[in-house]
Structure 1
């Protein structure tokens, strides 16, 4: 059975499918499904790290071992495979920006920037240069044809859904992209890999932030921007100094861990990161309540924006979508939302359909809006 994503009718010739192969089980199964469709298949792997330093890195993506795994899968499937060096571009557009965002007191999402840049811009351009009729990836989202063209929808498996990270996908990109795994649970994908004899069938999933395999984001940023890793004041909501922090790189909005203030009658959370003054503003959890958030770089896939129309908004990758409305630049939450951090994304949905989203620039406290 041919995946609906690979039914490329009306070409009058054998289709050519380019597959983004990261070396993991998901993209390997996509390559196998594409080959089963009878199309000519070309695999492309991006090298995003120095080969020598990345060979043994566990839990990464597009590193040395992953390149070898992708090549082995391509050889087994009998398809062409190319490795493209994008290390410099990845460092400039993703890693450097990640560090600069933390220095600015924001909480970045490098996976979205990677998809916006080297994966869905550079890779898509390479795919077209190779004469590909589409570019297929192993992302867990669905491309659904609607009345006005291709739509982006959540994956069937909610535990694997990656739509939050793909909100910036443009209409033109969506026309060309294919996501054949969006309708499958992860267990079935691994079973397919095993049935096909792919050596990556049991390979662990890569981490969300591939270039920080040990999870020490602050440590990475401190090494890259040591001049910004200095202690500063912790102040309460009235601006009174109540303690010291170890460097704003180590804190984000909503964080409680690491704020050691004696004598407080209730737990304290980071309410705001003031990068200019190099201080943290802390307060009780109630002070985290947000009524609305202003967005920048809004990407809209849902047709005409109807201010006040009910939809749902997701403000963190692991958060549940909550009822909201949108006026084109600001999202308004039906009930106070917590932990809304500048630098994160607000992604907007109509049911399972991704309407669009943007980067959170600022948030208005719920109490202030009520007043």
Structure 2
């Protein structure tokens, strides 16, 4: 096959491209320029897509003996990922920009251009497994990225390749060294790629500005002032601007955010427990929604936040009834569903969380809307 290898400049994408070459595919390497003003050098492991990363990707392509190009996707990335991220926080949501980048950039904009140029698939260094259209968790549970790939449609998955998902990360580094790739020991990037400083609150404050509001307790009593709801997320404990813990001595957490009034509500750990999740924009990896309720495992964060559940497609979205409660579940996050079998590694679908409820699943029955919050 003729495949396009998305090369970020890191070890994972370099080895993925190498394996595609070794498998006999005609491989072309592409680095995505996602910033209009990329820094010359990254700071340690923070950020990515710098000039250094582009150079590392080019050198890896040279070692592999494949053609290499840099494609400018900065405008599309700003509109579909950065602007979306800022707007979501301004609306009191907690988005995951990696999901949006996969959905809108790597497997939409990039894949569409690749298809138009006659490529059969896009190869990436994501830690996930794909066989016969079925998306599964990676062998390396600590590096698994199936959660951030669950936004891909059946059509997008049919044109994707994840060559390294069957291998633990340490072995990927060993393989890179054996292949003579200089990125073998390059640190992994972490945090949000377009916020290399790691200071998300400062980044959002510069974009959104001051929008004063109040921090209140469960009774509506004002406890403090704040400069904007973008500085808070559900489950947050630190940086609340409070003088101390609650009267009972227990810590307080953000339990609700109202962007219209600018109100941030805080409460106890118990107040964070949710039993039902509403989600919109449901995506089913099989290409079609299930006919009725399905037993599954729901995951609400890239690593962790899982619970046995029953999910059902409803009006283009989905409703998830948890068998045990989850905490720190926020609007804007993704809920990803995995098949409830002994392996529990097959992705069924996903949706963007739009609301939660605190009525225990066993008591919800057909009255699933009782106790919902938005």
The DSSP-based 3-state class of the residue aligned with 2:204 is helix
Q: 1:304 & 1:240 partners in 2: Cα distance?
A: 44
Q: 1:85 & 1:203 partners in 2: Cα distance?
A: 24
Runs (4+) off by over 6 Å: 367-371
CA contact 1:111–1:208 (8 Å) conserved in 2: no
* Structure 1 counterpart of 2:21, from 17, 35, 38: 35
The DSSP-based 3-state class of the residue aligned with 1:84 is strand
Deviation at 1:41, TM superposition (A): 1.2
- Alignment partner, residue 364 of structure 1: 357
Deviation at 1:327, TM superposition (A): 1.3
Deviation at 1:27, TM superposition (A): 0.6
Q: 1:178 & 1:234 partners in 2: Cα distance?
A: 47
Deviation by residue 1:185-232 (Cα, 9 ceiling, x = unmatched)? 000100010000001111111114111122211111111111xx3332
Deviation by residue 1:87-110 (Cα, 9 ceiling, x = unmatched)? 111011111111111111111111
* Structure 2 counterpart of 1:289, from 258, 267, 273: 273
Deviation at 1:38, TM superposition (A): 2.9
Q: 2:7 & 2:205 partners in 1: Cα distance?
A: 32
Deviation at 1:308, TM superposition (A): 3.5
Q: 1:127 & 1:181 partners in 2: Cα distance?
A: 21
Q: 2:189 & 2:334 partners in 1: Cα distance?
A: 21
CA contact 2:305–2:326 (8 Å) conserved in 1: no
The DSSP-based 3-state class of the residue aligned with 1:305 is coil
Question: Is 1:48 paired with 2:34?
Answer: yes
Deviation by residue 1:211-264 (Cα, 9 ceiling, x = unmatched)? 1122211111111111xx333211112222222234322110011112324452
- Alignment partner, residue 328 of structure 2: 339
- Aligned CA-pair RMSD: 1.7
- Cα 1:77–1:367 change in 2 (3 A) is closer
- Alignment partner, residue 118 of structure 1: 105
Question: Is 1:186 paired with 2:169?
Answer: yes
CA contact 2:20–2:163 (8 Å) conserved in 1: no
Q: 1:60 & 1:321 partners in 2: Cα distance?
A: 27
Q: 1:289 & 1:366 partners in 2: Cα distance?
A: 10
Question: Is 1:201 paired with 2:184?
Answer: yes
- Alignment partner, residue 368 of structure 2: none
CA contact 2:35–2:49 (8 Å) conserved in 1: yes
Deviation by residue 1:98-155 (Cα, 9 ceiling, x = unmatched)? 111111111111111111111111111122233222211100000022xxxx110000
- Alignment partner, residue 197 of structure 2: 214
* Structure 1 counterpart of 2:308, from 318, 323, 328: 323
Q: 1:134 & 1:249 partners in 2: Cα distance?
A: 38
Q: 1:236 & 1:333 partners in 2: Cα distance?
A: 26
Deviation by residue 1:3-51 (Cα, 9 ceiling, x = unmatched)? xxxxxxxxxxxx3221111111011111111222233210111100134
CA contact 1:307–1:325 (8 Å) conserved in 2: no
CA contact 2:307–2:325 (8 Å) conserved in 1: no
CA contact 1:295–1:362 (8 Å) conserved in 2: yes
- Alignment partner, residue 91 of structure 1: 78
Deviation at 1:309, TM superposition (A): 2.7
Q: 1:64 & 1:125 partners in 2: Cα distance?
A: 25
**Structure 1 segments unaligned to the other structure (5+ residues):** 1-14
* Structure 1 counterpart of 2:89, from 74, 85, 102: 102
- Cα 1:141–1:367 change in 2 (3 A) is closer
CA contact 1:289–1:366 (8 Å) conserved in 2: no
Q: 1:230 & 1:281 partners in 2: Cα distance?
A: 16
CA contact 2:278–2:319 (8 Å) conserved in 1: yes
- Alignment partner, residue 233 of structure 2: 252
- Alignment partner, residue 42 of structure 2: 57
- Cα 1:125–1:367 change in 2 (3 A) is closer
Equivalent residues, number: 350
Q: 2:197 & 2:227 partners in 1: Cα distance?
A: 20
Q: 1:258 & 1:71 partners in 2: Cα distance?
A: 42
**Structure 2 segments unaligned to the other structure (5+ residues):** 365-370
Q: 2:360 & 2:127 partners in 1: Cα distance?
A: 38
* Structure 2 counterpart of 1:230, from 211, 220, 224: 211
